[in-house]
Chain A
Amino acid sequence: MAKLVFLGRLEDRAGCAEMAVPAGPLADILARLDSALALDLLGERVRWALNGRLVGESEAMVLGEGDELAFLPPVSGG
């Protein structure tokens, strides 16, 4: 299994902070999600981090066993 992590408002969209998904091509994983959520995750302003490192936002990614892919919407700190 792999894990998707939803930060900020994406957590509300997903209805959870984390989701376990079968490892495999990300395109297949996204296709099984609610389509509105998948569209949000692919949004222009959403950055991705794979196993704690920022990565390019590519649907061609394949998640392996134990991988954690985090979706990071625009930040607001301080």
Chain B
Amino acid sequence: MPSLATSLSNARSSADGMTADVRLTDAAFDPAALLSAFTGRFGSAGGVVSFLGQVRGGEGVEALELRHYAPLTLPGMEALAETALARWHLEGLLVIHRHGVMAPSDPIVMVAAAARHRRDAFAATDFVMDHLKSDSWFWKREKTAAGWRWIEPRDEDFADRARW
């Protein structure tokens, strides 16, 4: 699990003093405002890539709940961000993840990477998302008319992670 992060170290972040902005929150967040603040902060970056994950609608889903385990979840997210900083040339990295109960269309997760060149920003964002999905300490359940049901990771999630 987050052990990969420690093995790859945070050399880059410590070398140039850059640290990621990593947040775990039980409050709704405004993706547009966050992205605007992020691009404002890294105006010299040639490219910014962002991903926004929202609660999927349809299929009778009334609510989604994400649980976490405080001693592990945020430290694991921070280690993941450090790994991304060490692996790609980034000027900035934002990782924000909700926990708690959400409704369809609510933002769950946002990752944004700023880099001088776009490939680094695309790859880092993709990498962080793949690891948030299947390698971070979150447990998800959804509520339908039949009640709450825990969501198991999909095989695709593991396959996505294995690409790295």
Q: Measuring CB to CB, which residues of chain A are less than 8 angstroms from any residue of chain B? A: 5, 7-9, 11-12, 47, 49, 51-54, 70, 72-78
Contact = CB atoms under 8 A, between A and B. Distances in A.
Mostly, the B contact residues are mixed
Contacts, number: 69
Given A49-B69, A52-B71, A78 B108 contact: yes
Contacts of B135: 75
Given A8-B141, A70-B71, A76-B153, 19 more contacts: A7-B67, A7-B139, A9-B139, A9-B150, A12-B150, A49-B69, A49-B71, A49-B72, A51-B71, A52-B72, A53-B71, A70-B72, A72-B137, A75-B1, A75-B134, A75-B136, A76-B150, A77-B133, A78-B132
Interface of B: 1, 3, 53, 66-67, 69, 71-72, 97, 108-109, 129, 132-141, 150-153, 157
Given A7-B139, A54-B1, A75 B150 contact: no
